[in-house]
Structure 1
């Protein structure tokens, strides 16, 4: 019996030992497995994310771009691809050390993530460069989003007891209008960023000509930025005359750039560059402000004159009406003495938004003129619904109408249509008496062109009122 009990105790001890060993081994295996899974997940995360900021890296960024294009292709919406680069980040690293530089990158990454929508992607592409995917965003709203990003990134951050602020440059491209596949979209967003950095312009959208940007042209943009704030721009004024009496009824303000080396640069050489960068905004503000100041100075002797200025499609932002009315009040100019010339393409870009902004300006008394009419962007049927007071016939038709019956017929139709809709009709590009007589016979209201005067400096403009010859 005693031997039997000993064997029972031995068997029990063996079972307990084996169970204990199994539990220990199971715990070890479970722990090792958990660590292996965690390591695998960590390795997988690191393969797709930036270890410093936790943002997606280039690999995941490329996947997100492809996914966004596929989803937007099914939904019929646009995608904006943005590349952001911090300006003067090297100074932070060199001055405050790499540890503070890394912390600054983490701060920027966090700010970018919090300001965007849940479906957007922010990736760190390397160094101080970030990529942003904005699915379902139209071209008309992208720059508003990017300015909000700039404002967010530009907020002060304290690093090592020092308050640091950052500026950034952004280049972007739109799918499908700027590129038809992912690789081209990525490349063109990079090109836009390159142009923005080289030209010191804050935001640049890719356009066809950007591939041809050379150092000289990019340098011109940098110089233009300084010229806007440095007093190197000047306005010249071209008279607009009554078609019957030839009385000067107003002037169009046309900007020129007094370049220290190249001399007087006409707008055709720098306005397209300004429009492809963030410079068109401050340039237009300078033109409007200067033109209103001049009109105010002329008011005592010529209170009947009106002043026309050109507005780009890029200027049609929600704050435009308020800003225009503020400047009119500041210069004590009545709203009806300002004519904003807006091209048909401005309406074609975003008709609903443009119409709302122009309606607000028109309701306040500002005269809105549809410039370059006849290029084909505005249908005759929709013209009656646009909140404009004036049509300005495209100069190409005016120049050609003397020798081309088809162009003459187009001009006649535009004048008749404009009058039927209660609009004043202006013809620009009038260069000889024959064209002037044709326009007068067709009932054109106002004319403008070298027959009467080229654009002249402000000090010469008023003398034109008494010197433009009246035909016999």
Structure 2
């Protein structure tokens, strides 16, 4: 019996056509799946905008185009103002609704080929391909205008402004470079009052990098005993007896030598390091007072320690406990410590400040308004604050002896302070004549170079051991 010949498929066979259609369908599905996967990888799930990877891809393309002669791209970095407070008060669902609305408004304010992305949280970035700085500025201002109307949250509505930083790309820029520099410009906007657009300034980069270097070195200084305290006496004018000393921090930098506080305190305040610095000063100062009281050569000198307190300290829930623990560890009574606060730190009169001041008052430490008269100079709030003392700014004393009417004016200031039930300490006393004039109008206490300049611990201890009256 002969073998059966196999059936051969021809191009016209309908089974071939069916197989080809099936393969084509599978390829289309695979292509679509890959497209969807790629799209999801480049999309922010909440807002539907592009994400950080989409921004990076668009930036690389724009930079490649610039390398062949196109105008360089520009980047707008948009950060919402007060979003964390909104999220804490309104909740996550409302915050997400705000982000979605903001995304839609930014998209509506830009051009069709601009790439709008969300980088996370409340931060958005807009890449503007082939765009000059003035044109990018116009787009940024349109975004700010688009965000002005209130956002309806159902039961209420909120206004959500933003701070915007603009940076035009340079040939050497990576996405990380331009983001960092746009971020610096955006931070400048926040520092200047928010709801503004700021263009990157190279000088800002240098200043911020220097600030970061100082912060890193200062943090190390706190941990490695590079900080030292200098002490300046506060004297009872009628007797010359020392009634207190003010602890003033200095930084003994290993390369730059002794750095004065006006060079690093503002940086510490601006970067949040002031609380850690303040804790170091607190513990070092009360520890030194304990050593003076224990040493036979200085035990006869019974005076209080004065330290400066920042506005950030009043906003810290832990500050009262820090003070209490430092005194307990040193074995000192609360009356041994006086905290000096600037007018600007306490004039805000918010709930947390009032709570902290009241708690410190109950604890029993002294509270003193420092540099009184240099700022707000409002006499009305003196009666309302739980403070014991007022340190009058040195500007009131410097003209004493030059202007015949100055002494009468100071007598009036002293009377107001006394009528509020407070003690007055007068700063900036540099001569015996100034000290005598203030004593003659009933001023009780003074501080200044006439009595002594700020001295390091060893020299101040030596003076304590041999002096009873200040100046000697």
Does the alignment reach a TM-score above 0.5?
A: yes
The aligned counterpart of 1:80 is 82
Q: Distance in 1 between matches of 2:386 and 2:471?
A: 35
The aligned counterpart of 2:244 is 250
SS in structure 2 of the partner of residue 276 of structure 1: helix
The aligned counterpart of 1:306 is 304
How much does 1:248 deviate?
A: 0.8
The aligned counterpart of 1:467 is 467
1:237–1:348 distance in 2 versus 1, CA, 3 Å = same
TM-score (norm 2): 0.61
- Residues 405-424 of structure 1 correspond to what in structure 2 (within 5 A)? 408-424=407-423
1:127–1:456 distance in 2 versus 1, CA, 3 Å = farther
What number of residue pairs does the alignment pair up? Answer: 339
- Residues 274-289 of structure 1 correspond to what in structure 2 (within 5 A)? 274-289=268-283
Q: Distance in 2 between matches of 1:354 and 1:177?
A: 22
How much does 1:463 deviate?
A: 3.5
How much does 1:393 deviate?
A: 0.4
How much does 1:442 deviate?
A: 1.9
How much does 1:318 deviate?
A: 2.0
1:429 paired with 2:455, answer no
The aligned counterpart of 1:269 is 263
The aligned counterpart of 2:88 is none
SS in structure 2 of the partner of residue 239 of structure 1: strand
The aligned counterpart of 1:331 is 330
1:215–1:52 distance in 2 versus 1, CA, 3 Å = closer
SS in structure 2 of the partner of residue 324 of structure 1: helix
1:51–1:415 distance in 2 versus 1, CA, 3 Å = closer
SS in structure 2 of the partner of residue 270 of structure 1: helix
How much does 1:131 deviate?
A: 4.7
- Among residues 193, 207, 227, which one is paired with 1:233 in the alignment? 227
SS in structure 1 of the partner of residue 248 of structure 2: strand
The aligned counterpart of 2:392 is 393
- Residues 29-44 of structure 1 correspond to what in structure 2 (within 5 A)? none
1:405–1:351 distance in 2 versus 1, CA, 3 Å = farther
How much does 1:219 deviate?
A: 2.7
How much does 1:345 deviate?
A: 0.5
TM-score (norm 1): 0.61
How much does 1:222 deviate?
A: 2.2
Q: Distance in 1 between matches of 2:190 and 2:208?
A: 26
Q: Distance in 1 between matches of 2:123 and 2:43?
A: 22
**For the Cα contact (< 8 Å) 1:81–1:132, is it kept in 2?**
no
**For the Cα contact (< 8 Å) 1:80–1:173, is it kept in 2?**
no
The aligned counterpart of 2:286 is 292
Q: Distance in 2 between matches of 1:252 and 1:227?
A: 21
Q: After superposition, give the CA deviation of every residue in 1:118-173 in whole Å (9 maximum; x if it has no partner).
A: 577599x989886559x99xxxxxxxxxxxxxxxxxxxxxxxxxxxxxxxxx9885
1:382–1:282 distance in 2 versus 1, CA, 3 Å = same
Q: Distance in 1 between matches of 2:266 and 2:212?
A: 13
- Residues 18-417 of structure 1 correspond to what in structure 2 (within 5 A)? 48-50=49-51, 79-80=81-82, 121=99, 131-132=122-123, 178-179=192-193, 181-184=195-198, 213=207, 215-216=209-210, 218-300=212-294, 301-302=299-300, 304-316=302-314, 317-404=316-403, 408-417=407-416
1:298–1:425 distance in 2 versus 1, CA, 3 Å = same
Give RMSD over aligned pairs.
Answer: 4.5
SS in structure 1 of the partner of residue 232 of structure 2: strand
How much does 1:340 deviate?
A: 0.3
How much does 1:52 deviate?
A: 7.3
Query: Which structure's residues are more often helix, by fraction?
Result: 1
SS in structure 2 of the partner of residue 462 of structure 1: helix
How much does 1:349 deviate?
A: 3.8
**For the Cα contact (< 8 Å) 2:230–2:250, is it kept in 1?**
yes
Q: After superposition, give the CA deviation of every residue in 1:166-214 in whole Å (9 maximum; x if it has no partner).
A: xxxx988598872353423xx69xx9xx9xxxxxxxxxxxxxx967716
